[in-house]
Amino acid sequence: MEKIKVAVLGATGTVGQKFIALLENHPFFETHELVASPRSAGKPYAQACDWKQDSFIPAALKDRIVKSTEEKLESIILFSGMDASVAGEIEEKYAHAGHFIISNSKNHRMNPCVPLIIPEINADHFEVIRHQPYKGGIVTNSNCSTMFMAMVLAPLHREFGIKTVQVTTMQAISGAGYPGVSSIDILGNVIPFIGGEEEKMQVESQKILGRVEDGIIVSADYLVSAQCNRVPVFDGHTETLSLTFEKKPTVEGVKKALTSFRGIPQEKKLPSAPEQPILVFDEDNRPQPARDIWKNRGMSTCVGRIREDNVADIKMVILGHNTVRGAAGAAILNAETLVSLGYLNAAG
């Protein structure tokens, strides 16, 4: 197939950089336009960007002139890694102009007319795009910590019916962006507060596991209690879950539901899709960020220590790569799914 031209909004930021790194040599997409603030616009990308990735800037983009968010764009798909302080209005402007925005920003996540997509779970939610007031559309992916939790909750909710979730996170410093958390605050320390994070975790997964009715998304009705902590780990968010169910499962039943879980990205063999989206470990001391976040190129959710809970029903530890599956990689997989389901063709 002829590659689809895409743009990256917020191209000089850390999420934008991750988009660019993951899109290099992508079989579906060609990075055609780089868009950033007026401060960076008009400069060659290598000059405008303080590159922080563990790969080189793609050679074809080094001298690409950065465009302003005020300019018209040629690309049909726009990957947004913009800061939430400016993302909402800019994303809407481009959606009204006929572009499809695949956003990592929080601004539109809880709008019932905007799908909050994890394509293994709720690809049917793409349908609400047709009811949006735009010539194009806006699709979002979840908060990074919600991403891994929802991946685990989805197959368990379908099999056993979730009633309550208690989750405690140990979140990597890369989740704070660049320059992130001061070294004097985080080294040898745990910070028991991340602004807005607990609130996101307590509502986003219910929307993801919800249903579409009359063109809007109705959230699932289980309850989530979240406590979020920043820890001195560079990449990889670890979370401990305690779950209660409508039908209490066995430990083996939970493991079977998780290991057998697949979705549309796996059925269609999409480029960014992990063959097995959930990896279950039997070792007592896994998963670990230093050893497991790059399993399946950072696109799988890792689960271990699944056992009975004498207060709830089942407890476990989960782990995911927060800047790959929890951010840019998730958005790219969303775009691959959008294309594979024919939404761009339907839009003409």
Residues carrying an active site annotation = 144, 237
The rounded radius of gyration (Å) of the Cα atoms in the chain is: 20
Q: What is the DSSP letter of 348?
A: -
Cα separation, 108 vs 214, whole angstroms: 19
Cα separation, 237 vs 186, whole angstroms: 15
Burial class (CB in 10 A: 0-12, 13-18, 19+), 247: exposed
Does residue 159 sit in helix, strand or coil? helix
Tokens of 30: 């060609």
Cα separation, 95 vs 58, whole angstroms: 27
Nearest alpha carbon to residue 16 among 230, 180, 237, 178: 178
